[in-house]
């Protein structure tokens, strides 16, 4: 092929076009800050691209799974999801604009896990519920997932991977598919590419505030993560491998607790004021 100058030029142009569009998107979207922590982030994927990729991936993943669509466990996940999403919208209105939240329950009793895709599509496995034990703890896990979405952790991981790809000069004609896989991988779906420890800590912090604002007791976080630790090898990477040790984690949670309790107290007072007196 390299002997043919026309094809060579087309390939070169295509390569250059992709390279320029990636570099342009880096300039346009590259500088951003994580909500709450204010940490600088490098993100080269637009929110509308994220939404599209997330929706596609969600449909693809759910097709392979057995989905629970009725019953008390399903209703609990819907109830918690709705409250957590409402709280996220209330606390971080600028960040969540355009996200379309959806919470599915996947039937798999061996899977102690939950995940979220770019744009707000989340899933919980039935195997998580015996470990969370109560609705407050489930809300803390689901809000942790919502926090990954809000802080755009998947896009951040993908952007780093894309930049490495640009630097390494991999085949740009295959980049579309690669982008998609990177986003999936970055969200822990399919290929295992866990979030970084910094991102996990950030999701713990934001998630604690969101669930507290949704009216769930943040003090449940400590026994929850202890139970999660005991679930041991049954709990996959998302909740264990990149997380700080439980001792560090509990110290961090205690540090965030006063602010979380403030959200919780306000939320409970707000709810009491709204509920009918009869």
Task: Give the residue nearest to Zn ion (CB).
Answer: 203
| Other Cβ atoms closer than 10 A to 83 | 21
In whole angstroms, give the CA distance from residue 141 to residue 133.
12
* Selection from 221, 215, 63, 85 nearest residue 149 by Cα: 85
Residues 6+ apart with CB under 8 A from 239: 112, 113, 228, 231
Cβ-contact 26, 41 below 8 angstroms: no
Least separation in angstroms between residue 225's CB and Zn ion is: 12
Output the CA torsion sign for 168, 172, 178, 182: positive
Nearer to Zn ion, 36 or 200 (CB): 200
List the x/- string, 183-212, binding to Zn ion by CB under 5 A.
-----------------x--x---------
Nearer to Zn ion, 226 or 265 (CB): 226
Nearer to Zn ion, 199 or 267 (CB): 199
Does residue 240 belong to the site contacting Zn ion (CB under 5 A)? no
In whole angstroms, give the CA distance from residue 260 to residue 169.
45
Catalytic residues: 145
Least separation in angstroms between residue 242's CB and Zn ion is: 8
Least separation in angstroms between residue 222's CB and Zn ion is: 17
User: Which residues of this protein are in contact with Zn ion, per CB under 5 A?
Assistant: 200, 203
């Amino acid at each position: 092929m390299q002997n043919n100058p026309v094809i060579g030029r087309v390939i070169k142009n295509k390569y250059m076009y992709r390279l320029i569009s990636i570099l342009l998107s880096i300039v346009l979207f590259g500088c951003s800050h994580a909500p709450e922590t204010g940490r600088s982030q490098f993100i080269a994927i637009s929110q509308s691209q994220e939404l599209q990729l997330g929706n596609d991936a969600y449909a693809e993943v759910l097709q392979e799974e057995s989905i629970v669509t009725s019953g008390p466990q399903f209703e609990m996940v819907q109830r918690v999801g709705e409250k957590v999403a409402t709280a996220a919208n209330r606390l971080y209105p600028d960040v969540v604009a355009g996200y379309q939240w959806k919470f599915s329950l996947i039937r798999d009793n061996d899977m102690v896990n939950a995940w979220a895709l770019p744009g707000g599509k989340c899933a919980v496995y039935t195997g998580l519920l015996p470990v969370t034990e109560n609705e407050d703890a489930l809300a803390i896990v689901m809000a942790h997932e919502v926090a990954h979405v809000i802080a755009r952790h998947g896009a951040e991981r993908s952007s780093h991977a894309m930049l490495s790809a640009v630097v390494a000069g991999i085949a740009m004609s295959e980049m579309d598919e690669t982008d998609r896989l990177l986003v999936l991988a970055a969200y822990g779906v399919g290929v295992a590419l866990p979030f970084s420890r910094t991102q996990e800590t950030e999701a713990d912090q934001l998630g604690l505030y969101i669930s507290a604002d949704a009216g769930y007791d943040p003090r449940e976080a400590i026994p929850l993560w202890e139970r999660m630790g005991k679930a041991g090898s049954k709990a996959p990477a998302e909740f264990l491998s990149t997380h700080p040790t439980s001792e560090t984690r509990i110290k961090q949670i205690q540090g965030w607790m006063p602010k979380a309790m403030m959200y919780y107290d306000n939320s409970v007072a707000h709810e009491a004021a709204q509920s009918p007196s009869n």
